[in-house]
């Protein structure tokens, strides 16, 4: 919580509590527009036994701005219609894998598909056993930066396939690839570039399907990618991706709601044009913010129309640096997200809480997870610890069954079994 916020929050409580009961106060704070909540921390719903009711309004960390007891909260959610498959995570580190497993047990996650660093994958497998399955993805720490997304990735794909039986290859094609790819990025900018095609051809030869990160949040195009000559417009990133969808017929999972959760009409068109395209719900902060920007009924219609084409994913990133104050990994900014086991648990559990509360319940309130994009775009309206509306969609259980499990089994696991 920012300096002075406890006093501001307490002052607000004193002013507004006069002549009102506690429940009324909590509802008032909970439903007040975010622009009016710059210096106060919204509380839980205040309704005993309902999702969000454990919140005490005390800011714990960026993953728990409402003071929720995530272990107790897991029991307040409805029982999922089946054990959940998380199709998109990054589990690294033995100790943090055990913390993730505790959160996963509480939130009904039976299996996870993980983009674990190659050097971490064996230890993660020893900790989690058959609960984890691996997705091949680039080695961002590779000494030859120019080769990470080029020739070196061919070797990495083979190693994940041979050593860990990976059935999925991840392509990262965010706008910032031009910054990360050393050398002239011209041979990587278009998704159907020479190197992408070679990698996709190898994956096809090895009997693998695809996952892709395409584009980035609208907020980033407004604030970070303003040099359109370098980063291009958001829609410019999709033409070459669609050419690859046509060229390689195996299933493709476009992560993070296809990179365009802000525009469901656009996603409708993509899914209509390409019957081998699937989406996942990963990148919790982004997806919650973007879907919360639509009327709930529009989002429900989207999930209903495309049942069997959307998979549950969290994008949780674990690492042992989350369990200590002194960081060993100075490369990843995500190492700073937690510094104790309790903070790491909140970090991992918060993503499952937010996604399940959004998909399963009628929750009406703000997300418990700080979303820095709000302050980045509108610092006069949002404080540094603000969060967006979390839309409680209350999807029907038969639809949740497809989202949580059946689609992963019928697409990803059936593809792997048929190789």
Q: Are 219 and 260 spatial neighbours (Cβ–Cβ below 8 Å)?
A: no
Round to whole Å and give the CA distance between 201 and 207. Answer: 10
pLDDT at 187: 87
Give residue 147's pLDDT. Answer: 84
| pLDDT per residue as tens digits for the range 77-127 | 999 999 999 999 999 999 999 999 999 999 999 999 999 999 999 999 999
Q: Half-sphere exposure of 395 toward its Cβ, with a 13 Å CA cutoff? A: 27
Q: Is the pTM of the predicted complex or chain greater than 0.75?
A: yes
Domains of the chain, start order: 76-417 (3.20.20.140)
Tokens representing 72? 């107790």
Residue with tokens 């049942």: 307
pLDDT in tens, 162-202: 999 999 999 999 999 999 887 788 888 899 999 999 999 99
In contact, 71 and 349? CB cutoff 8 Å: yes
The stretches in the chain having pLDDT less than 70 are: 1-49, 330-331
Q: What is the number of other CB atoms lying within 10 angstroms of the CB of residue 194?
A: 11
């Amino acid at each position: 919580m920012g300096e002075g916020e406890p006093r501001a929050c307490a002052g607000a409580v004193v002013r507004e509590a006069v002549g009102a009961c506690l429940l009324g106060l909590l509802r008032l704070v909970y439903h007040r527009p975010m622009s009016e909540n710059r210096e106060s921390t919204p509380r839980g719903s205040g309704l005993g036994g309902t999702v969000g009711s454990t919140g005490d309004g005390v800011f714990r960390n960026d993953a728990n701005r409402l003071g929720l007891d995530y272990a107790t909260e897991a029991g307040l959610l409805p029982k999922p219609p089946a054990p959940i498959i998380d199709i998109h995570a990054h589990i690294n580190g033995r100790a943090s894998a055990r913390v993730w497993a505790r959160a996963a047990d509480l939130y009904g996650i039976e299996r996870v598909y993980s983009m674990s660093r190659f050097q971490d994958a064996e230890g993660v497998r020893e900790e989690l056993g058959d609960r984890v399955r691996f997705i091949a993805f680039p080695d961002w720490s590779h000494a030859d930066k120019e080769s990470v997304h080029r020739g070196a990735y061919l070797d990495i794909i083979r190693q994940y396939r041979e050593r860990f039986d990976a059935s999925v290859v991840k392509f990262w094609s965010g706008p910032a690839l031009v910054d990360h790819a050393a050398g002239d990025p011209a041979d990587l900018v278009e998704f159907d570039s020479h190197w992408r095609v070679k990698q996709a051809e190898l994956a096809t030869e090895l009997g693998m399907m695809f996952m892709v990160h395409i584009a980035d949040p609208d907020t980033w195009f407004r604030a970070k990618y303003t040099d359109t000559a370098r980063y291009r417009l958001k829609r410019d990133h999709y033409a070459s991706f669609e050419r690859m969808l046509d060229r390689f017929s195996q299933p493709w999972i476009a992560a993070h709601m296809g990179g365009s959760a802000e525009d469901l009409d656009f996603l409708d068109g993509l899914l209509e044009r390409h019957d081998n395209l699937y989406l996942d719900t990963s990148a919790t902060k982004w997806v919650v913010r973007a879907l919360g920007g639509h009327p709930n009924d529009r989002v429900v219609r989207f999930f209903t129309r495309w049942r069997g084409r959307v998979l549950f994913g969290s994008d949780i990133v674990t690492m042992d640096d989350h369990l200590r104050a002194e960081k060993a990994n100075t490369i990843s900014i995500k190492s700073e997200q937690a510094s104790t086991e309790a903070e790491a648990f909140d970090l991992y559990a918060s993503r499952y809480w937010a996604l399940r509360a959004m998909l399963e319940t009628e929750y009406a309130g703000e997300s418990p997870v700080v979303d820095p994009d709000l302050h980045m775009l509108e610092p006069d309206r949002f404080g540094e610890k603000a969060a967006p509306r979390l839309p409680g969609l209350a999807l029907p259980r038969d639809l949740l069954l497809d989202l949580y499990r059946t689609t992963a089994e019928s697409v990803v696991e059936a593809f792997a079994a048929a190789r």
